[in-house]
Structure 1
């Protein structure tokens, strides 16, 4: 769990960095493709040839969990406010629980209670009035949530049957993600919005090498060390962590009562996970 907490804190900074220095200034497709390219460079020294089936599975995992997920996520910005987008990401734990049950070929029994409690906690923190026309955005963000959840569970499932190191796997993982995002950039990007300032380039370097490269490696490895219940709950811990970082460093506004109540619900979900796993 300690590793997942560390990555959660790391990613909490990413939301504010993107919002302050990149959003609306650098094309989203170019930003995502740049992140994937930089992350791939981190793992190229560990690349090794694999049987084509295994290589394709790893590439497909990266393409779905990160590549396609980001495409759905950025498309949803056309229909949702930031508050609505954050609200709709709270359903990710439910998708993690669902895919964990499907891969284990079991009937849901214990996974859903902590996942629902985590969703309730995040809803308390992020609930806001919804705009009149949000169904397209809602569908897009649920597709993004499902892709991210599926990739996490699929990676855990693969880890049970391979001795390949995580570092070697992630060279193929980010190659798949880069192929998807590079194709989207070629077709959809606004090439007038390049990262031209040193600050923008520095933020992208941090996001690509640290947040994406080391972050997803740590998160995927950490996901193999915890139960599916704990993984589901940790997917929503980023919401209170991101809010706290934004308030402390960038002087954002927050309803501390709602943040406290929501965090208590999430802590209860983690306690429930531990109780069911013991």
Structure 2
């Protein structure tokens, strides 16, 4: 659980970094492919030969969880404000619970209470008046949520039969993610929007090496050490963490502290319920 908290804090910076330094200044496809390439280089020394089937499964996991999530997420910035984007991530725990139930062959409603409590808590914190044109952005962020949730649960499922060390698996994960994001970059990128300032390059290096590479490795490893309910709830802890980062480092203001406190208490209750009712 400690790893999940640590990565939540690291990821809390990502939304603002992308919105402030990259959105509208660096092409989305170039930004995503750059992150995948940097992360792939980290795990290149840990290459281990595996069967074609194993390689394909791990590459598919990376393509969905990592490339899919980022491609949809970056595009959502074109249609949503940061507040709306954070709001719509509150549904991720529901996807985690759904996919966990499907993989475990349970009825989908059995373990949803912690996820619903987490969604309620995040909604209390982040519900804002929506802009007129948000449906396409909503669809993009839900696709990102579903990709991220599916990849997390699929990774947990693979640990039951895959003896490879996590760092060796991530060579194949980021190979799949780089293959997909690189192909999309070559097909659709606007090459006039390359990273050409020190701040843009620094942010991409941070996002690629730390947030994507080391962050996903630590999160995926941490996800195998908790039950499905706890993992679902931790997916929404990013929202209060993101608010804290915005207030402390970007001078953001919290207009309604009682709502923030009430939402955090609701999500802490969800975490307690998930631990108490653990079945895995």
TM-score, normalized by length of structure 2? 0.96
Q: 2:72–2:141: 8 Å Cα contact kept in structure 1?
A: yes
Q: CA deviation at 1:15?
A: 2.0
Q: 2:12–2:242: 8 Å Cα contact kept in structure 1?
A: yes
Q: In 2, Cα distance between the equivalents of 1:33 and 1:45?
A: 20
Structure 1 residues 54-85: Cα deviation after superposition (integer angstroms, max 9, x where no partner): 00000000000011122222222333232222
TM-score, normalized by length of structure 1? 0.96
Structure 2 unaligned spans of 5+: none
Match of 1:2 in 2: 2
Q: 2:23–2:77: 8 Å Cα contact kept in structure 1?
A: no
Q: 1:29–1:181: 8 Å Cα contact kept in structure 2?
A: yes
Match of 2:267 in 1: 266
Matched residue SS, 1:277 = coil
Match of 1:105 in 2: 105
Structure 1 unaligned spans of 5+: none
Q: In 1, Cα distance between the equivalents of 2:204 and 2:135?
A: 31
Number of aligned positions between the proteins = 278
Match of 1:71 in 2: 71
Q: In 2, Cα distance between the equivalents of 1:69 and 1:277?
A: 28
1:251 matched to 2:251? The reply is: yes
**Post-superposition, which runs of at least 4 consecutive aligned residues in structure 1 deviate over 4 A?**
none
Mark the CA change 1:75 to 1:16 in structure 2 (over 3 Å): closer, same or farther.
Answer: closer
After superposition, the CA RMSD in angstroms is 1.3
Q: CA deviation at 1:24?
A: 1.9
Q: CA deviation at 1:253?
A: 1.9
Q: In 2, Cα distance between the equivalents of 1:175 and 1:189?
A: 20
Match of 1:114 in 2: 114
Q: CA deviation at 1:109?
A: 5.0
Q: CA deviation at 1:29?
A: 1.4
Q: CA deviation at 1:190?
A: 1.4
Structure-to-structure mapping, 1:161-240, within 5 angstroms: 161-240=161-240
Q: CA deviation at 1:28?
A: 1.6
Structure 1 residues 107-130: Cα deviation after superposition (integer angstroms, max 9, x where no partner): 135420000000001111111112
Bigger shift: residues 101-110 or 75-84: 75-84
Mark the CA change 1:111 to 1:151 in structure 2 (over 3 Å): closer, same or farther.
Answer: same
Q: In 1, Cα distance between the equivalents of 2:264 and 2:109?
A: 24
Q: In 1, Cα distance between the equivalents of 2:199 and 2:84?
A: 28
